[in-house]
């Protein structure tokens, strides 16, 4: 493989592509192409922190207390030694960036970071470089710039809080995989063999949110992904099960402060942006 060719691997092979034990470079990128079936990396951990970007499709990082879904203008940051698993939709395209401990002042907790076009391109550039690039050349300088930029990226709240409680986690995974599922609270309660009132109290206690607000987080993240992929607002509203476009726009604006079209335009998301 040419040293300038992207290391493009399957999701389950990504961690095998780089020897995590002997890795010394401050930041190493990998491009991940998922096959035509949904794929999952089981729970694992490594000393390096990991940044996960979704270039196409969707990805979900699951940690002990939350599902972190990767919107198109963001990346999920998983600190080193934190147990996590990663799931991706069929035909998704992801990029990983592994960051050595102490290489950058990044958060000590799992979070979603807003990502600029510059950071995105630098991550893809790191994926074109060998993992053992020289420590005194242009590759090192690119890594330094990338890590400095990452420390400036804003932390967002686009995640779904869950817990170790099995019924809450079961509903969370179902909603993350099927955001258009419009079952009522009572119907979800029956699905996990609880009363409606008990489920409402449980979700509030475990996540700090009402069931409606909890589910709304999924709709926001899925809406951003679809809008950035070129779907019209009407299509997104239908895909998420809203009865009207107006209801969807109202939810979006109330949550993010702007209507969908304006939000996407100001974020600079381009559905036609090439994947390299």
| Total count of domains within the chain | 2
Q: What's the pLDDT at 46?
A: 92
Structure tokens, 154: 């804003």
Which burial class, exposed, middle or buried, applies to 240 when counting CB atoms under 10 A from its CB (0-12, 13-18, 19+)? buried
Closest CA to 172 of 152, 199, 135, 144: 199
Residue-wise pLDDT tens digits, 249-258: 999 999 888 8
3-class DSSP string for 203-222: HHHHHCCCHHHHHHHHHHHH
217 and 263 share one domain: yes
Q: Does residue 186 share a domain with residue 145?
A: no
Which of the residues in the chain have pLDDT under 50?
A: 1-8, 270-276
Give the residue numbers spanning the domain of 77.
8-156
Write the burial class of residue 28 (CB in 10 Å: 0-12 exposed, 13-18 middle, 19+ buried): buried
Collect all residues with Cβ–Cβ distance below 8 Å to 159 and sequence separation of at least 6: 66, 67, 68, 69, 111, 112, 217
Q: Are residues 148 and 237 in the same domain?
A: no
CA 255/CA 135 separation, integer angstroms = 44
pLDDT given for residue 13 in this prediction: 65
pLDDT at residue number 36:
62
| Predicted pLDDT at 211 | 95
pLDDT per position as a tens digit, 71-107: 767 899 999 999 999 988 777 789 999 999 999 999 9
Residues 54 and 110 both lie in one domain: yes
Let me know if residue 2 belongs to a domain: no
Determine the Cα–Cα distance for residues 27 and 115; give it in Å rounded to an integer.
Answer: 16
Evaluate whether residue 273 is within a structural domain: no
Instruction: State which of 87, 122, 156 marks the end of a domain.
Output: 156
Residues 19 and 149 in one domain: yes
Q: Domain with 191 in it: what CATH number? A: 1.10.10.60
89 and 131 share one domain: yes
Closest-CA residue to 79 (of 52, 51, 100, 49): 49
Residues in contact with 53: Cβ distance below 8 Å, sequence separation at least 6, in sequence order? 70, 75, 94, 95, 96, 97, 115, 120, 123
Does 124 map to a domain? yes
- Using a 10 angstrom Cβ sphere, with 0-12 exposed, 13-18 middle and 19 or more buried, the burial of residue 185 is middle
- Whether 62 contacts 84, CB under 8 Å: yes
Same domain for 133 and 43:
yes
């Amino acid at each position: 493989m040419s040293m300038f060719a992207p290391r493009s691997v399957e999701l389950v092979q990504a961690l095998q592509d780089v020897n995590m034990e002997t890795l010394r470079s401050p930041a190493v990128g990998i491009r991940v192409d998922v096959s035509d079936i949904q794929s999952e990396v089981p729970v694992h951990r490594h000393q390096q922190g990991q940044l996960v970007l979704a270039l196409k499709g969707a990805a979900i990082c699951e940690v002990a207390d939350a599902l972190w879904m990767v919107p198109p203008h963001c990346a999920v940051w998983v600190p080193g030694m934190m147990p996590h698993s990663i799931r991706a939709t069929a035909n998704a395209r992801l990029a990983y960036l592994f960051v050595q401990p102490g290489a950058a002042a990044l958060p000590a907790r799992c979070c979603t970071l807003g990502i600029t076009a510059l950071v995105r391109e630098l991550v893809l550039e790191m994926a074109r470089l060998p993992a053992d690039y020289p420590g005194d050349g242009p590759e090192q300088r690119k890594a330094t710039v990338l890590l400095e930029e990452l420390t400036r990226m804003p932390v967002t709240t686009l995640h779904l809080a869950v817990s170790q409680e099995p019924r809450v986690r079961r509903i969370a995974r179902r909603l993350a995989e099927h955001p258009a599922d419009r079952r009522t609270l009572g119907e979800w309660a029956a699905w996990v063999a609880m009363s409606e009132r008990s489920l409402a109290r449980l979700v509030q206690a475990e996540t700090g949110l009402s069931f409606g607000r909890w589910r709304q987080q999924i709709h926001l993240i899925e809406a951003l992904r679809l809008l950035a992929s070129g779907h019209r607002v009407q299509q997104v509203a239908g895909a998420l099960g809203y009865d009207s476009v107006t209801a969807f726009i109202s939810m979006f604006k109330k949550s993010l402060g702007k209507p969908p079209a304006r939000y996407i335009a100001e974020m600079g998301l381009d559905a036609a942006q090439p994947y390299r």
